[in-house]
């Protein structure tokens, strides 16, 4: 079991609060939602009044999770403390800032629970519990065990969903022996893996229009640096049209990584006002995603990371720089691997 040094500070904040806001970032995924829902159950069993918030609409493919309809798009005005899940990056709480609600959150005790193990930029947080794990659900499970919090069967199911989703069924590079042990413990606690897997597969079902759109995206994939790097650019018109159905990069980014000789896949999304978000995935043995993201002020894992740029810079210039830095990181990694031999 992982021991978190922040556990007692978290206990004090939770003990002293009645109404607790659970906050997701502006890029919700199954881990962030399932972790929020599990935390809602755990806090409710502690006698608290949890309220869940996300500044953007949840994608339709995530709404199969029981309780997703309880996530509010408007931040509550009255609460005693907040818990931010699945991010320690201030830039991913843009909607909270735009609405003016960030000041309310900063005025109350704030806890961050994350698994990316990157440098936290949420300066107003009182406690940051950000340890490398396969999913935030894993962090919540370990923290609950350490603090002696009851984890109901429903909460266990949600934590299992979070872990299996972010680990792609316990197959990603971030999956550890402890991740597998936790899933085994959850199964011993009554969780049915076939039931969870069926629910996870439901997230993979797509509207027929997305099948055709995926084909269009694949036709636009570009190859660079002797095919080591693949890129895809998604304009605002497509984001606006298809995001309610599915996050466009996630339709194709794994296919992009399957190309022969490809080491890293990069998807750019272009928004009005010059905002650019970027999702990065590296193949096994080419873990540069985190360093590439950090170059542009982002973060994540060696094999899955991303960044956001809002300074108005020219996209084509940024794209060229991104490809150049990725190539340099791959070259450096290759050199280090040869030296290690």
Residue 120 falls inside a structural domain: yes
The residue from 202, 224, 253 where one domain ends is 202
Kindly state whether residues 160 and 230 are assigned to the same domain. Answer: no
Residue 340 has pLDDT above 60, yes or no: no
Give 87-96 pLDDT, tens digit per residue: 988 888 989 9
Domain-terminating residue out of 182, 202, 222: 202
The percentage of the chain sitting over the pLDDT mark of 70, rounded to a whole number, equals 98
Q: Determine the average pLDDT of the residues in 206-234.
A: 96
Shared domain for 57 and 129, answered yes or no, is: yes
- pLDDT at residue 326 above 90? yes
Quote the domain boundaries for residue 81.
7-202
Contact criterion met (CB below 8 Å) for 268 and 231: yes
Same domain, residue pair 46 and 128: yes
In a domain, 75, yes or no: yes
Question: For position 301, which CATH number holds?
Answer: 3.10.310.30
Contact 227, 263 (CB under 8 A): no
The torsion defined by the Cα of 327, 333, 337 and 340, in degrees rounded to 10, comes to: 140
In a domain, 86, yes or no: yes
Looking at the structure, tell me whether residues 191 and 228 fall in a common domain.
no
Q: What is the pLDDT of residues 177-194, one digit of tens each?
A: 999 999 999 999 999 999
CA distances from 98 to 159, 234, 266, 312 (A): 30, 24, 28, 18
Tell me the per-residue pLDDT of 127-168, one tens digit each, with 9 for 90 and over: 999 998 999 999 999 999 999 999 999 999 999 999 998 888
Q: Residue 232 has what pLDDT?
A: 98
Q: Is residue 2 part of a domain?
A: no
My answer on whether 148 and 275 are in the same domain is no
- For residues 47 and 109, membership in a common domain is answered with yes
Over the stretch 58-90, which tens digit does the pLDDT of each residue have? 887 787 788 999 999 999 989 999 999 999 888
Helix axes 136-147, 177-188, angle to 10 degrees: 60
Separation CA 269–CA 274 (nearest Å): 10
Residues 183 and 239 grouped into a single domain:
no
pLDDT-based confidence at 271, cuts 50/70/90?
very high
Q: What is the pLDDT of residue 115?
A: 93
Do residues 149 and 217 both lie within one domain?
Answer: no
Q: What confidence score (pLDDT) does residue 197 get?
A: 83
Identify whether 307 is part of a domain.
yes
The last residue of one of the domains, among 202, 226, 243, is: 202
In total, how many domains does the chain have? Answer: 2
Residue 140 falls inside a structural domain: yes
Same-domain status, 92 and 35? yes
- Statement to judge: residues 50 and 178 lie in one domain: yes
Q: Is residue 1 part of a domain?
A: no
Which of residues 202 and 26 earns the better pLDDT score? Answer: 26
Confidence of residue 54 (pLDDT cuts 50, 70, 90): very high
In the numeric block, the tokens 């699945």 are attached to: 86
Tell me the sheet residues that pair with 280.
266, 305
For 257, the 3-state DSSP assignment is helix
| pTM of the predicted model as reported, rounded to 2 decimal places | 0.80
User: Cβ neighbours of residue 103 under 8 Å, at least 6 residues apart?
Assistant: none
pLDDT at 341 > cutoff 60: no
Residues 215 and 159 in one domain: no
CATH code: domain of residue 18: 3.90.1640.10
Query: Tokens representing 25?
Result: 């970032």
């Amino acid at each position: 079991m992982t021991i978190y040094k922040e556990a007692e500070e978290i206990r004090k904040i939770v003990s002293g609060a009645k109404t607790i806001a659970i906050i997701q970032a502006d890029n919700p995924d199954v881990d962030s939602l399932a972790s929020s829902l599990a935390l809602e159950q755990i806090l409710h069993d502690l006698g608290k009044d949890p309220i869940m918030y996300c500044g953007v609409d949840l994608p339709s493919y995530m709404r199969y999770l029981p309780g997703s309809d309880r996530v509010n798009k408007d931040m509550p005005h009255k609460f005693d403390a907040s818990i931010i899940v699945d991010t320690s990056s201030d830039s991913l709480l843009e909607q909270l800032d735009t609405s003016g609600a960030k000041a309310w959150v900063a005025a109350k005790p704030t806890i961050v629970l994350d698994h990316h193990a990157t440098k936290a930029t949420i300066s107003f947080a009182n406690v940051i519990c950000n340890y490398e794990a396969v999913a935030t659900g894993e962090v919540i499970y370990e923290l609950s065990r350490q603090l002696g919090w009851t984890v109901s069967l429903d909460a266990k199911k949600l934590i299992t969903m979070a872990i299996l989703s972010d680990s792609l069924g316990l197959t990603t590079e971030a999956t550890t022996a402890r991740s597998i042990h936790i899933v085994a413990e959850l199964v011993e606690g009554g969780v049915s893996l076939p039931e969870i897997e069926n629910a996870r597969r439901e997230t993979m079902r797509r509207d027929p229009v997305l099948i055709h759109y995926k084909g269009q995206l694949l036709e636009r994939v570009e190859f660079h640096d002797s095919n080591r790097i693949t890129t895809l650019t998604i304009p605002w018109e497509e984001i606006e049209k298809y995001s309610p159905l599915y996050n466009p990069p996630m339709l194709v980014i794994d296919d992009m990584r399957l190309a022969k000789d490809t080491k890293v896949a990069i998807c750019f999304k272009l928004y009005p006002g010059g905002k650019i978000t970027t999702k990065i995935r590296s193949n096994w043995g080419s873990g540069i995603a985190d360093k590439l993201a950090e170059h542009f002020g982002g973060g994540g894992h060696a094999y899955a990371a991303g960044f956001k740029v809002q300074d108005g810079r020219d996209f084509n210039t940024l794209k060229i720089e991104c490809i150049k830095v990725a190539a340099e990181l791959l070259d450096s990694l290759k050199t280090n691997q040869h030296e290690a031999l």
